[in-house]
Amino acid sequence: MTYRGVTMLKTENIKVRFAPAPTGYLHVGGARTALFNWLYARNKGGKLVLRIEDTDAVRSTEESTKAIFDSLKWLGIDWDEGPFFQSERKEIYRTYAERLLSKGFAYESEDVKGTHKAVIFRLPSSRKIVIKDIIHDDVEFDTAVFKDIVLMKSDGTAAYNFACVVDDHLMGITHIIRGDDHISNTPKQVLLYEALGFPLPNFAHVPLILGPDGSRLSKRHGATSVGQYKGEGYFNKAFVNFLALLGWAPGDNREKMSTGEIIDSFGLDRIGKKGAIFDVKKLQWLNGVYIREMALEDLTGAVIPYLESAGIVDKDTDREHVKFIVSLVQERLKTFSETPAITGFFFTKDIFYDESAVKKYLLKEGVETILGKIICGIENEERFDVENLEKCFVKIKEEMNISNSKLIHPVRVAVTGSAASPPIFETMVGIGKENCVKRLKNTLSFINDGDFPFKTQNVPPPNPIE
């Protein structure tokens, strides 16, 4: 089997790894790296190892480790071996460091900064190192541009490049798939493989994920952690689908793909070389596609936490009622988190009015007459359902000899406070007869005294749920 001209040995025993440092939440960049490793392993029937690179005792936290596990779980990424913690493998690294020391490849530092002497690898003065990268083909470095490599820090822990090489070898990693930002570490690691007498694994450096301005995605670009996207109400399957399409494409114009389809089509040979800008608009679109396809029951379950944390529904709210409301907004949703904002008026006692909608539809000639007739009509209907409401509206429409929209628009604003809503009859049923009548009557009095409770600009923000 060959990829970009590189012959790959033992493709039947693929083993890859994801090796995050637990110094913060899982970044979308890290998530994509994890995903590509996982997809490759699953596609090849290989194995994925999870290794926590917590050699930096100061910056590593248990909280971060937990957050990373949570995010991986949310993404649906599972692993076959590990998690291994580098903090528990000090003796192993020490042994190999001593081996390099005794063979003369490394020396101990003069200045003692900690309790130990640092062990440092002596770099050959000038040597060309060619990395055979599956994505980039050959990349050449001259060792003259590097400084000597720290193997063991003076606090007794192993440094990144060393621990990484020792572990990747001991854990039997065949393919190292990681971000492009590691490519300049690779020649250093190659030197260590050689000195240690380890065979070289295959390397695949995947391009970075970029922010809207083309620079590496970072906090200043907004949401960058997987947890944030979860909290903002993205569906995990949609997020995974989107992430997979960042830097990789199946080649046949498919966009919406199930995880299984992605696994089947995935290959390192179709990963691009160019950094990819994280386009939230496309994520939102894809998320909307998934939401529209969700079973109502599932969507309701996904959305309830947001309604609860917004204080709009509680444990006692009738779930069937919530489900009905959700069914009305399903095709309007891009993320779960916007549900409170667009369904609030169904649940709250009082509503606030959109100022421009009021001006446009309520402060007009004849509106009071129309609303009055609607109130009468509703109160006289024995059953408050879509069918009867429609009959009632038609009757008034004919009586007054006016168009449908002349009737419907004012009523919509009166009962929802907004010019946009799901179909009016369903919406009214969702609001309930009593509430509708009350709002209609209130509206009448607001029109009279010109004292509408308008919506303020600061709509409550979505409540991120971690």
Partner RNA sequence: GACCCCAUCGUCUAGUGGCCUAGGACACAGGGUUUUCAUCCCUGCAACACGGGUUCGACUCCCGUUGGGGUCGCCA
Catalytic site residues? 219
Residue 278 vs 452, nearer CB to RNA: 278
Helices (H) then strands (E): counts for the chain: 18, 14
- Helix ranges, 8-85 (H): 28-44, 62-75
Nearest to 4 by CA among 245, 274, 267: 267
DSSP bridge partners of 139: 131
2: left (phi over 0), alpha (psi -120 to 50) or beta: beta
By CB under 7 A, residue 192 contacts RNA: no
Q: Give the C-alpha separation, 135 to 271, whole Å.
A: 7
Instruction: Identify which range of 61-69, 73-81, 213-221, 451-459 contacts RNA by CB under 7 A.
Output: 213-221
Radius of gyration of the chain measured on its C-alpha atoms: 31
Residue 277 vs 465, nearer CB to RNA: 277
Nearest to 122 by CA among 141, 135, 136, 103: 103
By CB under 7 A, residue 210 contacts RNA: yes
By CB under 7 A, residue 368 contacts RNA: no
Residue 295 vs 318, nearer CB to RNA: 295
Residue 276 vs 465, nearer CB to RNA: 276
Instruction: Identify which range of 42-50, 276-284, 373-381, 458-466 contacts RNA by CB under 7 A.
Output: 276-284
- Shortest reach from residue 449's CB to RNA, in Å: 27
Residue 311 vs 394, nearer CB to RNA: 394
Is 39 in contact with 244 (CB distance < 8 Å)?
yes
For residue 144, what are its two tokens? 């003259």
Site for RNA in 133-172 (CB under 7 A): 136-137, 139-142, 145-147, 150, 153-155, 157, 159-161
For residue 445, what are its two tokens? 């009095």
By CB under 7 A, residue 32 contacts RNA: no
- Chosen residue from 425, 436, 439, 462 binding RNA by CB under 7 A: 425
Length of the chain: 466
Burial degree of 19 (CB within 10 A; 0-12, 13-18, 19+): buried
In the shown chain, the binding pattern of residues 240 to 269 toward RNA, with x for contact by CB under 7 A and - for none, equals -----xxxxx-x-x-x-------------x
Q: Give the C-alpha separation, 158 to 162, whole Å.
A: 7
- Shortest reach from residue 188's CB to RNA, in Å: 8
Instruction: Identify which range of 39-47, 178-186, 345-353, 372-380 contacts RNA by CB under 7 A.
Output: 178-186
By CB under 7 A, residue 88 contacts RNA: no
- Chosen residue from 272, 311, 432, 460 binding RNA by CB under 7 A: 272
Site for RNA in 393-422 (CB under 7 A): 404-405, 408-409, 412, 419-422
Residue 99 vs 182, nearer CB to RNA: 182
- Shortest reach from residue 200's CB to RNA, in Å: 18
- Helix ranges, 245-279 (H): 259-265
Site for RNA in 321-350 (CB under 7 A): 331-332
- Shortest reach from residue 434's CB to RNA, in Å: 21
Query: How big is the CA angle at 374 (ends 368 and 378), to the nearest 5 degrees?
Result: 150
Nearest to 359 by CA among 425, 454, 262: 454
- Chosen residue from 6, 14, 16, 21 binding RNA by CB under 7 A: 21
For residue 448, what are its two tokens? 């009279």
Site for RNA in 94-113 (CB under 7 A): 109, 111-113
Is 130 in contact with 138 (CB distance < 8 Å)?
yes
In the shown chain, the binding pattern of residues 279 to 298 toward RNA, with x for contact by CB under 7 A and - for none, equals x-xx-xx--xx--x------
- Chosen residue from 66, 95, 98, 114 binding RNA by CB under 7 A: 114
Instruction: Identify which range of 13-21, 76-84, 92-100, 296-304 contacts RNA by CB under 7 A.
Output: 13-21
* 426 Cβ contact list (under 8 Å, min separation 6): 328, 386
- Shortest reach from residue 315's CB to RNA, in Å: 29
User: Pairing state of beta strands 128-133 and 137-142?
Assistant: antiparallel
By CB under 7 A, residue 118 contacts RNA: yes
- Chosen residue from 8, 277, 396, 465 binding RNA by CB under 7 A: 277
By CB under 7 A, residue 215 contacts RNA: yes
By CB under 7 A, residue 7 contacts RNA: no
Is 120 in contact with 107 (CB distance < 8 Å)?
yes
The helix/strand/coil state of 47 is strand
For residue 172, what are its two tokens? 């039997």
